[in-house]
Amino acid sequence: MERIIMNDHRRLGRELGIFDTDPLIGSGLPYWLPAGAAMRKAIEDYVHELERRNGYQHVNSPVLGKRELYERSGHWSHYADDMFPPMNVGGEEFVLRPSLCPHHALIYRRRQRSHRELPLRLAELGGQYRSELSGVLGGLTRVRSISLNDGHVFCAPEQAAAEVSAALDLIEAAHARLGIRAARYRLSLRGDGDKFVDDPVMWARSEAVLREVLKERGQPYEEERGESAFYGPKIDIQIADPAGRESTLSTVQVDLYMPERFDLGYVGGHRPAMVHRSVVGGLERLVAHLIEVHGGAFPAWLAPVQAVVLPLSDAELPAAEDLLRRCVAAGLRAELAPADRGSLGARIRAHRLVPYQLVVGPREVASGLPAVRLRDGSQAGEVPIERLAAEARPLI
């Protein structure tokens, strides 16, 4: 018998209106409902701002490219099993991209770079695609279409260790803000066979950088062979679901291969290193994990609905509608639950996951401030809307 998991994201995610699937779209291709789209936007805004403050420039690139691009990147010879077959358009072959790295390498290469521009940090929240078989697909954790928080740092080889460490700082900051705890850190090394680039000297150099950073940070980790990218070793930050199944959320990788393949350089005939990193991974897996960790009671900045306005009776409806408008104008995701939907107790129960429950009775109409009830049942008293809105911002 399959173990019943309380916070299984597949059940809870649909109940909470976060995502769903339709056989006509296809398995492994979930769509985001309004509650999920609101969470996604909050996460995107947070990560974008975190990256911006830490020296990243954001770019956008297409979700497909010519077959030759992936032949050049090495995906074609090492990663083709996971890629969708090419589409033939007027004699040219296009492939849904399996990763964003090749596009970013070309953005680096579009003009000559000087050492003063390095480290050049590019970030993008973009789509990438995996041709998973239908049998293994489910919910948001195994999907064919991934919205990846990705980034590539092009730097001098001697800057790579500092960049890896800075990426780990970002990951740890984001996890703390999201309420996520890592199950463990994994140093993912190459395995045998043709899935990995055959260049022992290159692998030894890139592994040494990751080991140095982990040691310097005093970070406990476990090594695992065969789990690296085809082009280089990775530090994977593993998370576990309520059943104990592990997966990789965030990752930092050192790559000396793609700079070679794309003939990247900077003035003086030098070859940069490429640090690939994802702070929060794919948004699908992240949101699945957040649903399971928080059971739907998300931190206020992430909650699909942050405030619900609860008039005691119809008499307070105009004041409640006015308060709702003020909440929305202040930046809160808010909704109104009028008295015709049941008793106050019933409406509070129906909105028990909403962080701020704003009760409006005759006294609150007079004062112009709502009586704020928190999710745990405690009373925060009369609080100005602007203060709640400030509390509910992604970055404080």
Binding site for Zn ion (CB under 5 A): 101, 276
Based on CB atoms, which residue is closest to Zn ion, 101 or 239?
101
The minimum distance between CB 100 and Zn ion, in angstroms, equals 6
The minimum distance between CB 105 and Zn ion, in angstroms, equals 9
Work out whether strand 307-311 and strand 356-360 pair parallel, antiparallel, or are unpaired: parallel
Based on CB atoms, which residue is closest to Zn ion, 36 or 126?
126
What stretches of 67-217 show up as alpha helix (H) in DSSP? 67-73, 75-78, 101-109, 160-178, 200-216
The answer to whether the CB of 175 falls within 8 A of the CB of 46 is no
Place of tokens 């403050």: 53
Q: What CA–CA distance (Å, rounded) separates 154 from 291? A: 34
Based on CB atoms, which residue is closest to Zn ion, 139 or 151?
151
The minimum distance between CB 262 and Zn ion, in angstroms, equals 12
Based on CB atoms, which residue is closest to Zn ion, 207 or 364?
207
The minimum distance between CB 57 and Zn ion, in angstroms, equals 16
Instruction: Indicate the residue type of 85.
Output: P
Based on CB atoms, which residue is closest to Zn ion, 9 or 152?
152
Tokens read off for 268: 């003086």
Based on CB atoms, which residue is closest to Zn ion, 78 or 276?
276
Length of the chain: 396
Tokens read off for 385: 């809307």
The minimum distance between CB 230 and Zn ion, in angstroms, equals 11
Q: What CA–CA distance (Å, rounded) separates 52 from 58? A: 8
The answer to whether the CB of 64 falls within 8 A of the CB of 88 is no
Q: What CA–CA distance (Å, rounded) separates 221 from 160? A: 19
The minimum distance between CB 281 and Zn ion, in angstroms, equals 12
Other beta carbons within 10 angstroms of residue 269's beta carbon come to: 6
The answer to whether the CB of 358 falls within 8 A of the CB of 310 is yes
The minimum distance between CB 86 and Zn ion, in angstroms, equals 21
The minimum distance between CB 168 and Zn ion, in angstroms, equals 16
Based on CB atoms, which residue is closest to Zn ion, 101 or 214?
101
Based on CB atoms, which residue is closest to Zn ion, 168 or 291?
168
- What are residue 79's phi and psi, to 5 degrees? -135, 10
The minimum distance between CB 279 and Zn ion, in angstroms, equals 13
Beta bridge partners of 19: 32
- What are residue 392's phi and psi, to 5 degrees? -95, 10
What stretches of 18-111 show up as alpha helix (H) in DSSP? 34-53, 67-73, 75-78, 101-109
Based on CB atoms, which residue is closest to Zn ion, 100 or 371?
100
Q: Which helix H or strand E contains 245, and what residues bound it?
A: none
Instruction: Characterise 289 by phi-psi region: left (phi > 0), alpha (psi -120 to 50), beta (else).
Output: alpha
Based on CB atoms, which residue is closest to Zn ion, 101 or 213?
101
- What are residue 123's phi and psi, to 5 degrees? -135, 150
Closest CA to 66 of 76, 54, 81, 58: 76
The minimum distance between CB 151 and Zn ion, in angstroms, equals 8
